[in-house]
Chains A and B, each alone.
Chain A
Amino acid sequence: QLQLQESGSGLVKPSETLSLTCDVSGGSIIRGGYSWSWIRQPPGKGLEWIGYIYHNGITHYNASLKSRVTISLDRSKNQFSLKLGSVTAADTALYFCASSPRYFQGMDVWGQGTTVIVSS
């Protein structure tokens, strides 16, 4: 059974870079067909898809965040990561990682989420 767990910096200063990692257990991060996503949810608001990386390393990002986002895979650690640069208070949110076995099947496994606050 696949399990995901987010970790990373919970407090980030404005203009700095937010860095989060999602540890994957119960399966390989390079299993064929899988995509690995980051989603965020500002306090009291809805879900925003940030981007995903395929098992083969190909990435796709939300256009509104594309200039600031990098998602990468670490095959040796079976994890994937999110970096979001030049953060502002608007980036304060609960950040989730999630997986999808095939692009059309939705995201069926989610991490518990990690809160990131942008503040000086």
Chain B
Amino acid sequence: DIQMTQSPSSLSASVGDRVTITCRASQDISIYLAWYQQKPGKVPKLLMYAASTLQPGVPSRFSGSGSGTDFTLTISSLQPEDVGTYYCQKCDSAPWAFGRGTKVEIK
């Protein structure tokens, strides 16, 4: 089965910083990658799918890129409300899988 590896596992950045999270698939998954945000104590929220298509209502400071095996999630200007854990998920053919998550904190 395809494994999803995220890095870093955690990061601390200042408000206004540009933040980048990486997700790597162990095999080619084309563009079939989704990103989720889970705020502390909350339900995961879909941020984007197909590597770069933002869900309605997601702030434009979030962007995604990549295809094949390497993907990135970028927050162009980190805000206090962006604190939480971010997960990538392969959503091509089954079985699906999540990365282990990247915890984002404010410095």
Contacts and interface: CB of A to CB of B under 8 A. Distances in A.
Interface of A: 37, 39, 46-49, 51-52, 60-63, 96, 100, 103-108, 110-113
B41 to A, nearest CB: 10
A62 B97 CA distance: 8
A106 B52 CA distance: 12
Contacts of B87: 46-47
A113 to B, nearest CB: 6
Interface residues of B, number: 28
Interface stretch (B10-18, B19-27, B88-96): B88-96
B34 interface: yes
Given A48-B98, A106-B48, 9 more contacts: A37-B96, A47-B44, A49-B98, A100-B91, A103-B93, A104-B50, A107-B36, A110-B45, A112-B43
B101 interface: yes
Contacts of A112: 43
A3 to B, nearest CB: 12
A106 B91 contact: yes
A111 B50 CA distance: 22
Interface of B: 1, 31-32, 34, 36, 38, 43-46, 48-50, 55, 85, 87, 89, 91-101
Given A46-B101, A104-B50, A63 B95 contact: yes
Contacts of A106: 34, 36, 46, 48-49, 89, 91
Given A104-B49, A105-B50, A107-B34, A49 B43 contact: no
Nearest to A103: B91
A47 B101 contact: yes
Contacts of B97: 49, 62
